[in-house]
Structure 1
Amino acid sequence: MECRDAAVSSLSWALLVGGAAFLLHQTRRGHAQYGRYLPAQGRSLPAQSRSLPARLAWFLQEVPAFLLPLLLLIWEPQRRGDGTGRTLLLCTFMLHYFHRSFVYAFLTRGRPVPLPIVLSAATFCSLNGFLQGHHLLHCARFEHTWLGDGRLAAGFLLFVVGMIINIHSDHILRSLRRPGETVYKIPYGGMFEFVSGANFFGEILEWCGYALASWSLPTTAFAFFTVCSIGPRACQHHRDYQQRFEDYPRSRKALLPFIL
């Protein structure tokens, strides 16, 4: 059972509504203008001056989701009896963003990211980092039997599997190019044998597992927003691969193996 908190409720519903709106926008207007979809004129010198190098961009936009929960965890004045469960879940959330901020960000070889996208992502990560941290540390309540709940075990298993898929898929994508290369190639191996957006599929599994383990509105809202925001990206990549390569595997789906 959870305490009633206006900030938690408002931000959770904002994620739900925002996710649905983002999905609708992507469906109607198409892909976001960055990475491989950046228009040719967007790669001119004036436009590049309004962009950040990929490594710096990823670090700045992802790190708030790690630092804000960490600060809340450090400043929490008193542990309640169910503190183990709350801390365990929050550390699960922080583990993903530690990797994205301090490992993935310094390994990526992506194109420069437009500054407005970096600012938008950093704002989202800040608000969501506060939401997840504040909810788990100050609002969530867990029964004493929670650590033996099947939802917790299944959720953590799903999170771990998703994170492994996500990290492995990113490694495959980075390995496709030598330093300095810009040509696109077909990824093979791992979950790429089944879906074009293997990295997106892994991240969606992570947050669905996180939501299942915590069984709350804020975590479910975040999982829903993730599906709505990166699910369409996987479908766009799938169409792009099919257009670029005549020999692209026809059995490969966009996001969900054998389904979508």
Structure 2
Amino acid sequence: MLTYIFPPPPSLFITAMTVISFTSSSSLGLSELRGKHLHYSKFWNSGSKTSAAKKIKLSSRTGMLIAYNPAFLAGVASFVLYPQENIRILLLCSALTIHFFKRIFEVLFVHNYSGGMNFDVVLAISLSYFLSTATVTYAQYLAQGFPEPSVDLKYLGCLLFLIGISGNFYHHYLLSKIRSKGDKDYKIPKGGLFGLVICPHYLFEIVGFVGISLISQTLYAFSFTIGSALYLIGRSCATRRWYLSKFDHFPKNVKALIPFVL
């Protein structure tokens, strides 16, 4: 393994976060497969209406801004907190900051919304993104004292990150165009890879996360990526089931996440 990753740093915090990040994300993925969804987007009303009514609700735009801004600020702060003498940590901090800047840009100028978010869900997502961003940069900082892995994957990671963030943005743009202004009804998305999978934006998000983990080449980054991928697999399968239940003419050959496979 040390051919591809840095040795784990002797840090109880990093070790704990590695385990917590993987288990929490993968558990959320299993919950999505079982039909227990986070209350936002098209799954806003899929849970108990009675319990949801007792919780504070935010618009999706406000909720997403609260969710993404702390992680973006953590990315910006990483340029100040950690010396940028090493090209790897500079690339990692740049990728994370660009990733969350893109998300905020999409919230403000791209996405169309038809639902809302529970405030407790917003706080959980915000804390998760913030801690993950802060931890991956801190783990990278601690790894600077170790020998570099013999197989250098950071430039391949940059390529995959650019592919992932571009593909994700393009398919989010397509999603924003399927409904006219003021239209709250869901439609089957078209264009791009939507003819093959219902969640190509999740597919490209996973590609982007893989890119970040290859830039980092730390155990925490890989565990976060695997956990996030498991969550997005569960989310995409739940999304496909939702479309099948809402649209009788939904094409059965359209997969959830991976063309022709899953």
Taking structure 1 as the reference length, the TM-score comes to 0.87
SS at match of 1:100: helix
Change beyond 3 A, Cα 1:150–1:37: same
1:213-228 to structure 2, matched below 5 A, reads 213-228=215-230
Task: List gaps (5 residues or longer) in structure 2.
Answer: 1-5
Q: CA deviation at 1:204?
A: 0.8
Amino acid of the residue matched to residue 75 of structure 1? L
Q: For the residues of structure 1 that align with 2:152 and 2:136, how far apart are their CA atoms?
A: 22
Instruction: Check whether the contact 1:195–1:256 (CA below 8 A) recurs between aligned residues.
Output: yes
Amino acid of the residue matched to residue 229 of structure 1? Y
Cα distance per residue 1:97-134 (max 9 Å; x no partner): 11112x01213222221111101101111211210121
Q: Which residue of 2 aligns with 1:84?
A: 87
Q: For the residues of structure 2 that align with 1:87 and 1:136, how far apart are their CA atoms?
A: 10
Q: Which residue of 1 aligns with 2:102?
A: 99
SS at match of 2:250: coil
Q: CA deviation at 1:218?
A: 1.2
Q: For the residues of structure 1 that align with 2:112 and 2:97, how far apart are their CA atoms?
A: 23
- Paired-residue identity, %: 22
Q: Which residue of 2 aligns with 1:256?
A: 258
Deviates more, 1:123-132 or 1:12-21: 12-21
Instruction: Check whether the contact 1:73–1:133 (CA below 8 A) recurs between aligned residues.
Output: no
Change beyond 3 A, Cα 1:213–1:120: same
Which structure's residues are more often helix, by fraction? 1
1:1-260 to structure 2, matched below 5 A, reads 1-2=6-7, 3-39=9-45, 47=53, 50-76=56-82, 78-80=83-85, 83-101=86-104, 103-107=105-109, 108-110=111-113, 111-141=115-145, 151-260=153-262
Task: List gaps (5 residues or longer) in structure 1.
Answer: none
Question: 1 or 2 for the larger relative contact order (CA 8 Å, sep ≥6)?
Answer: 2
Q: CA deviation at 1:69?
A: 2.9
Q: CA deviation at 1:143?
A: 5.3
Cα distance per residue 1:34-63 (max 9 Å; x no partner): 32222389789x949811121111111111
Amino acid of the residue matched to residue 130 of structure 1? A
Change beyond 3 A, Cα 1:144–1:37: closer
Q: For the residues of structure 2 that align with 1:29 and 1:193, how far apart are their CA atoms?
A: 24
Amino acid of the residue matched to residue 8 of structure 1? I
Q: CA deviation at 1:249?
A: 2.2
Q: For the residues of structure 1 that align with 2:145 and 2:257, how far apart are their CA atoms?
A: 34
Instruction: Check whether the contact 1:48–1:112 (CA below 8 A) recurs between aligned residues.
Output: no
SS at match of 1:88: helix
Taking structure 2 as the reference length, the TM-score comes to 0.86
Instruction: Check whether the contact 1:62–1:125 (CA below 8 A) recurs between aligned residues.
Output: yes
Deviates more, 1:90-99 or 1:134-143: 134-143
Instruction: Check whether the contact 2:37–2:46 (CA below 8 A) recurs between aligned residues.
Output: no
Instruction: Check whether the contact 1:162–1:203 (CA below 8 A) recurs between aligned residues.
Output: yes
SS at match of 1:113: strand
